[in-house]
Amino acid sequence: MIIEILLPLPLNKKTFYYKTRPEDFSQVKIGKLVQVIFRKKKIIGLIIKLHKKVDFNKKILFVENILENLFFSEEIIKSMHFISRYSCMPISMILKLFLSGFVNKKIEFKEKTINASKKNLQLTNHQKKALKTLENINAKKHSVITLHGVTGSGKTRVYMHNVIKIFLEGNQCLILVPEIILTKEWVNEIKKDFGVSPKIYHSSIKKSEKTKIWKSIILGKPDIIVGTRSSIFLPFSNLGLIVVDEEHDSSYKQEENLIINTRDFAIVRAKYSNCPIILSSATPSIETIFNCRTGKYERIQIEERINKVPLPLIHIIDKRKENLLISNDLQKTISENLKKKKQTLLFINKRGYAPLIICKKCGFSKICPNCSSSLVLHNYFSKESILLCHQCNHKERFLKICNNCQIKDSFIFPGFGIEKIYEEIKKLYPKANSLFISSDTIKNAKQYDEILKDIIDNKISIIIGTQLLSKGHNFPFLKTVGILNIDCLMNNFDFRSFEKTYQQIIQVSGRAGRKNEKGNVYIETFQPKHPVIEMCRQYKLEKYYEWELKQRKKNKHPPFSNFISIIISSKKESEAYTFSKKIVKKIRSIFNNIEVYGPAAAVIFKKNLFYRFRILIKSEKTRSNSVLKNYLKKISSPSNINFYIDVDPMSFF
């Protein structure tokens, strides 16, 4: 028998032919994993077709080994084909992701009885109503349910009741979270409330642990997995439910190598597994809200916080009148909080001390030697000040002498990052216990857990944090949130900038006032009358969705159209540009029902020594999109050119 095999290799040829020995015929079927010799190396492949004979005379090798009990279900194969077609990614590389947790050696399983039960947790009336609706919808098997609850409403507790119920029925459940650092906190909450310890799966766990989970999952053993993006590629064979927590989060979009949106792929996997999927968020994405309004998704709302604690009062600080790093009103509130032993969180989504370093004598600025990006000053108040590129991670010591005019101490630092705010807080409140937290300061999960514990135990009075702290945390003593420099997010070239601003404000504001006490929020902005700021201040979220959808429809932006972004890069600018022009010319000559913009220099024009040009394709939501994608997928680039296709882009850098 001749079998057609898909191999996890970056090759243009999709499949390869091998033959099986007569004694192995009974084990051969589509979806089976096999070991073959390819270019003198042993490699694992997937059987995708069976043939009695093939019409060519090339020598066909025998399969080395048919792996016992390791079988990809029809659901997995259909999902792989769909996401490959939709995202223009090679199916062989999708297979590589599915095999990333597999090692071909015997694993001894210690059978554990997982005890889980719905403990007698007190649910609010709003939570009970949401849970009942959720369970009624789940009875229909596959459905996409948006669980939309205000911050602090207990969405996790609602969906976890559902997870435990489906798990106790003998199914596998997957809970997706946006950040590795959040997985342990989620697991601890689940263990405390439901007496079950889910398995954690992400790129940083040990290979041996990955393999144990991978093999347990493919064998269909009931389990609950809490994981990040990579966990969607586990070979579930008995999937009963998927939850995407913080479904709006852009971290779910993988933007390098294989460019795939994990949330969207989770919806595909749920469809082919005929199981429900819950998209949970206090600030659902515009696409999700649109799908709810058009009847494609179900929507369940929880409109009240636990213990009926009111949402925090939002104050707008007009920076045109008072251009201080920390406004007078916010300073007064911080002082009051210190007296009452309440906490303040200052949010600024800028790492480092200053985003620009400029010589005031000659105008020279520090630029990364590998990129067209400014170097960012870090650790300014320590002896180990460095300049860091946030694109390629190039690092160099910060010398206070200008490279151009050789004058010492002539640098100025326009703008501000989290470290400059921390410096200001230490000046204003020298006796307060303050701390700044960003991805630069957190070295591992253990350190992060210790910091969170100190915050929860009220050992830290003033917390300065980046986006890391805006997700899913419950700080009982946090009274006030200050949102600094929101204008940077609101005024960039991304058509989603208003959506991201709204999500950021609502998410960060939701950290305040969690323990039976109303919190307050201060937003510092140069645009106090901007409609997004005003709608956030009044919590007019449905009004915001109406306004945003109206803007998108007017401009024919997603979800009323499809975007495909193409990045073409090369170490030689002329080569990248010439190839980009050639691609644009071909696309325009073949497809007359689409809009093609570019090629234009990408916002980050030079990145890691490569010059980058962007082509943006805008099309209506029609079947012709599949023809366009099929064409793009077949484009081959010379060895000196990198060619990346990003379907439904989330970033335009």
pLDDT at residue 614 above 90?
yes
SS (H, E, C) 111-175: CCCCCCCCCCCCCCHHHHHHHHHHHHHHCCCCCEEEEEECCCCCHHHHHHHHHHHHHHCCCEEEE
SS3 (DSSP) at 324: coil
Phi then psi for residue 24, to 5 deg, are -100, -5
SS3 (DSSP) at 470: helix
Residue at token pair 């009942």: 132
Q: Name, in order, each residue with C-beta under 8 angstroms of 534's C-beta and a sequence gap of 6 or more.
A: none
In angstroms, the CA 398 to CA 70 distance is 54
pLDDT at residue 563 above 90?
yes
- Give mean pLDDT, residues 317-332: 93
**What is the per-residue pLDDT for 443?**
77
**Homologous superfamily of 125-306 in CATH?**
P-loop containing nucleotide triphosphate hydrolases (3.40.50.300)
**164-199 burial string, b = 16+ CB within 10 Å, else e?**
bbbbeeebbbbbbbbbbbbbbbbbeebeebbebbbb
Q: Is 538 exposed, middle or buried (0-12, 13-18, 19+ CB in 10 A)?
A: exposed
**561-582 burial string, b = 16+ CB within 10 Å, else e?**
bbbbbbbbbbeebebbbebbee
**Homologous superfamily of 562-647 in CATH?**
Ribosomal protein S10 (3.30.70.600)
- Give mean pLDDT, residues 426-433: 95
- Least confident interval from 115-119, 357-361, 454-458: 115-119
pLDDT at residue 120 above 60?
no
- Least confident interval from 58-72, 417-431, 543-557: 58-72
In angstroms, the CA 245 to CA 235 distance is 20
- Give mean pLDDT, residues 336-350: 95
pLDDT at residue 187 above 90?
no
- Give mean pLDDT, residues 410-417: 91
Contact at 8 Å (CB) between 242 and 221?
A: no
- Give mean pLDDT, residues 70-98: 94
pTM of the model: 0.93
- Give mean pLDDT, residues 488-513: 91
- Give mean pLDDT, residues 59-70: 87
**What is the per-residue pLDDT for 118?**
54
pLDDT at residue 192 above 90?
no
Where in the chain are the domains? 2-71, 125-306, 309-352+416-554, 562-647
May I ask the CATH class of domain 309-352+416-554? alpha beta
**What is the per-residue pLDDT for 106?**
63
Confidence of residue 446 (pLDDT cuts 50, 70, 90): confident
Phi-psi region of 116 (alpha: psi -120 to 50; beta: other; left: phi over 0): beta
In Å, what is the CA distance from 236 to each residue of 71, 165, 198, 405, 575? 10, 18, 15, 62, 44
The answer to whether the 125-306 and 562-647 domains have the same CATH topology is no
Q: What is the Cα gyration radius of the chain?
A: 27
In angstroms, the CA 566 to CA 158 distance is 40
Strand duo 358-359 + 594-607: pairing: unpaired
Confidence of residue 309 (pLDDT cuts 50, 70, 90): confident
Residues 126-174: tens digit of each pLDDT: 999 999 999 888 877 899 999 999 988 889 889 999 999 999 999 999 9
